[in-house]
Copies of this chain bind each other. A is one copy, B any other.
Amino acid sequence: MSPPTHAGRTLRDRKRDRTRRALIAAAVDLFERRGYDGTTVADIAAAADVGTRTFFSYFGSKEELMFPDSQARVRAAVAAIAARRPSDRPADVLLRALRDVGATDGGLDDMVGRLTALRLRLIRTVPAVRGRALQLALAVQREIAGHLRRAFPAELDDVGAAALVGAFVGAVTGALQVLLEDPDTHNDPEYLRQRLHTAMDDVLRPWR
């Protein structure tokens, strides 16, 4: 699709990109070994060989490090809405957009699998990370609602679009909350996606 991110233009950009990845890699490693609370920001910075102060010029907070690709998800959803066909109803478009958001995991090479699995675990267990995830979900939701409304101006108003998107995202979130408890879904994002998909079909049937 678009040019991969790893070809930063200037030396500075490339170095910055490398440091960013190093921080994420170091954090994932430390979180897996010592746990989230057992790892300080200073530890992460030291492991990535940068000053503690520098960490905060890459990530606004410790939690933010777990969600490095949040913008990509928004873009995926917007693209799905833009690619709609004339026959699509709002719910159809929305369902496809959400599927694309869930499938978005690009931009971080090998790290992806480990990061995703770790993220799921930390969302379950660390309040600060769960809080951050929720806020991001809300932001994505808001963004999608805006685009959806513009795509269907005759059928949706501000509040209606927000409520509709909220219902769909809420269904996903609610189902996820239960599914993430299920030991079978741990460390198996594919199986998780499968079960989520069937649950969604079930709940959202009245709309389609």
Interface flag for A164 (CB, 8 Å): yes
Stretch at the interface among A27-35, A67-75, A102-110, A170-178: A170-178
Interface flag for A159 (CB, 8 Å): yes
C-alpha gap A132/B127 in the complex (Å):
9
Is A206 touching B206 in the complex (CB atoms < 8 A)? yes
Binding site for B on A (CB under 8 A): 127, 130-132, 134-135, 138, 141-142, 145, 158-160, 162-175, 177-179, 195, 199-200, 202-204, 206-207
* Interchain Cβ contacts under 8 Å between A and B, 10 examples: A134-B134, A162-B174, A162-B175, A163-B200, A165-B174, A166-B174, A167-B167, A167-B170, A169-B170, A170-B170
Q: 4 closest Cβ contacts across the A-B interface?
A: A170-B170, A166-B174, A131-B131, A167-B171
